[in-house]
Amino acid sequence: MNKLITTCLLAFGLTNMIAAQEKSVEIRVIQTSDVHGCFFPYDFINQKSMSGSLARVSSYVKSLRKEYGDNLLLLDNGDILQGQPTCYYCNFIKPEMPNVAASVINHMGYDAQTIGNHDIETGHAVYDKWIKEVKCPMLGANIIDTTTGYPYLKPYVIFEREGVRIAVLGLTTPAIPNWLNVRLWAGLRFEDMVKSANYWTKHIIENEHPDVIIGLFHSGRDGGITTDSYDENASLRIANEVSGFDLILYGHDHKSNKENVKNNDGSNVLCLNPSSNANFVCDATIKVTLNNGKVTGKSITGEIHDIRQQPIDKEFIEIFKNDIDSVNYFVTRKIGTFKNSIYTRDSYFGSSAFCDLIHNLQLKITGADISFNAPLSFDECIKAGDVHVSDMFNLYKYENQIYVVKMTGKEIHNYLEMSYGLWTNTMQSPDDHIMLLEHNGNGADGYGFKNLAFNFDSAAGIDYEVDVTKPYEKKVRITGMTNGEPFDENKWYKVAMNSYRGNGGGELLTKGAGIPHDSLPERIIYESELDQRYYLMKEIEKAGIMAPEPNNNWHFVPKSFTEKAIIKDKKLLFGIN
């Protein structure tokens, strides 16, 4: 009997010892991306409540921290410094104050953050100050300091939770020099993401011995600008080609997505993108089984979580009340009066009061011969009546400068051919769509543009027609200068445009006009000191009362095709006739 009891006790003790050696650790990971200044549940541009915002994310994270404590990692993926007037106010109107983009990150207890192209677009003075104010690690392994040859930011960070080592590697899109003036990123270079990910994952595995590797990438799924040197959107390629990642959290392209990718080495990689404006978050759960300190099991699941019905964190709002009040005071200042309403949606179907107001102000400010401009918002309106600072963010969405670029008439023609090729269908009959559309878009009937509308440039200063029955590169016929002079394809012209376009953004100057990218700097003959919105606002203030009307310098032909198609597509996209 004694032997039996002893044997049972030994077996019981051994079982307990084995159980004590094995444990399961669960880690929750929440990621935001492309917040674009949506910190508070209020749209300062349109003076109305906002469905998403970090105020709602905050309440969601607080509820999870009650369960997970330190086992919750909160990450952000960049493009936080531009979008709402809150950002503009902190970046440029009151730069001496702590940047709210840093204050909210610190208050919410973010664990790490990457930097995006719209953060770089604010310029060194703004983003270097913001980086210093953010208390969590700022990551960017492929952003290289040209003086030292080392990353300008931390390449990665290691977290240890209950014996589980988690590495987070940060990367950003290397296409930034194609969009931004070199002075905004002076002293930096941006390496190919795949090359950088290969190097740093090997370094991390060899030197840090992590149990989990997370990619935090400000780069879309795929597509975008592709050159011999890099891909703009490389997240999917890294998931397929670079060994080591368990979870890739990405952004930049504003497209909500969840997919499981099988890496070339046979491993599974969960990829999540939460879209933009803090309407959704990526929500992943990492479960790791440890036996005697070694990983014996690992699973990763996740989803895109809708944050829009989440309650607002009232404490968050109270803490930032002074910031909210200051921004609201700034944006509600009256700057002029419009006699009539103007709509972005009109810009897609012909010469419009909305786009032409910007065209005409650009021509007036710069003295250029021709102006290029695109609608920067899908469907916005500035109503007749008093115009306020807030309306300027609908009139002009981004903090671009104004450029004047030297172009030949032939280059101008080719530029417009590419623009309208992105924008319009080649109609075979009057029953076809006039716009290049795809389903599952953001239009009223589930339709949206196939391509990005902020690349749909029209022109002022020239008269032309667009034949929608003609194929790509044969649609545009320029009939002359608007001032009555002939248009000459062999002549040089001064062309006003925004700095995004002037630096190669959208590839209309490079692929369209055929100007080599490295030749663009020598073509720029004027660049404004301040942002475009500032100059537009000053011109409206100077005028006092304006009645914006279309220039009617261009239109779609033939009428027998376009009239019916415009009505149909306008209804599909905007629910109106």
Please report, for the domain that includes residue 151, its CATH number: 3.60.21.10
Please enumerate in sequence order all residues whose Cβ is within 8 A of that of 110, keeping only pairs 6 or more positions apart, or say none: 74, 75, 76, 134, 136
Q: Are residues 271 and 412 in the same domain?
A: no
122 within a domain of the structure (yes/no): yes
Q: Are residues 124 and 53 in the same domain?
A: yes
- Residue where a domain stops, chosen among 327, 350, 384: 327
- Would strands 462-467 and 458-460 be described as parallel, antiparallel, or unpaired? unpaired
Q: Are residues 343 and 476 in the same domain?
A: yes
Residue 431 pLDDT > 90: yes
pLDDT band for 15, please (50, 70, 90 cuts): very low
Number of helices (H) and strands (E) in the chain: give both, helices first: 17, 31
Q: Are residues 346 and 447 in the same domain?
A: yes
Question: What are the tens digits of pLDDT across the range 519-550?
Answer: 999 999 999 998 999 999 999 999 999 999 99
CA distance 87 to 101: 7
Residue 12 pLDDT > 70: no
Average pLDDT over residues 329-337: 96
Domain region containing 503: 334-574
15 within a domain of the structure (yes/no): no
2 within a domain of the structure (yes/no): no
How many CA atoms are closer than 13 Å to the CA of 561, on its beta-carbon side? 19
- The answer to whether residues 135 and 197 touch, using CB atoms and an 8 Å cutoff, is no
Helix 353-366 with 532-543: angle, nearest 10 deg: 100
103 within a domain of the structure (yes/no): yes
Q: What is the widest separation between alpha-carbon atoms in the chain?
A: 115
Surface-to-core class of residue 432, CB atoms within 10 Å of its CB (0-12 exposed, 13-18 middle, 19+ buried): middle
> What pLDDT was estimated at residue 14?
43
Average pLDDT over residues 222-226: 89
Q: Lowest mean pLDDT: which of 11-15, 298-302, 336-340, 349-353?
A: 11-15
pLDDT band for 228, please (50, 70, 90 cuts): confident
Of the chain, the percentage scoring pLDDT greater than 70 comes to 95
Bridge partners of 143?
Answer: 190
Q: Are residues 430 and 301 in the same domain?
A: no
CA distance 475 to 452: 19
Q: Are residues 163 and 104 in the same domain?
A: yes
Average pLDDT over residues 38-61: 95
Residue 364 pLDDT > 70: yes
Q: Are residues 338 and 299 in the same domain?
A: no
> What pLDDT was estimated at residue 9?
44
Q: Are residues 217 and 293 in the same domain?
A: yes
pLDDT band for 229, please (50, 70, 90 cuts): confident
> What pLDDT was estimated at residue 441?
57
Query: Which CATH number covers residue 367?
Result: 3.90.780.10
Question: What are the tens digits of pLDDT across the range 382-430?
Answer: 999 999 999 999 988 888 999 999 999 999 999 999 999 999 999 999 9
Residue 260 pLDDT > 70: yes
Q: Are residues 81 and 149 in the same domain?
A: yes
469 within a domain of the structure (yes/no): yes
Average pLDDT over residues 367-385: 94
- Would strands 112-114 and 138-139 be described as parallel, antiparallel, or unpaired? parallel
> What pLDDT was estimated at residue 20?
55
7 within a domain of the structure (yes/no): no
Helix 124-133 with 100-108: angle, nearest 10 deg: 20
Q: What's the token pair of residue 530?
A: 């301040």
The H or E element containing residue 371 is strand 370-373
Task: Map residue 556 onto helix, strand or coil.
Answer: strand
Report the candidate in 127, 235, 126 with the shortest Cα–Cα distance to residue 172. 235
- Residue where a domain stops, chosen among 303, 327, 351: 327
In total, how many domains does the chain have?
Answer: 2
496 within a domain of the structure (yes/no): yes
Radius of gyration of the chain (CA): 27
Question: What are the tens digits of pLDDT across the range 146-178?
Answer: 999 999 999 999 999 999 999 999 999 999 998
Q: What's the token pair of residue 420?
A: 């309208």
Q: Are residues 104 and 128 in the same domain?
A: yes
Q: Are residues 59 and 184 in the same domain?
A: yes
16 within a domain of the structure (yes/no): no
pTM of the model: 0.89
Q: Are residues 62 and 171 in the same domain?
A: yes
Computed over every residue of the chain, the mean pLDDT equals 94
- Residue where a domain stops, chosen among 277, 312, 327: 327
Average pLDDT over residues 104-130: 97
> What pLDDT was estimated at residue 21?
79
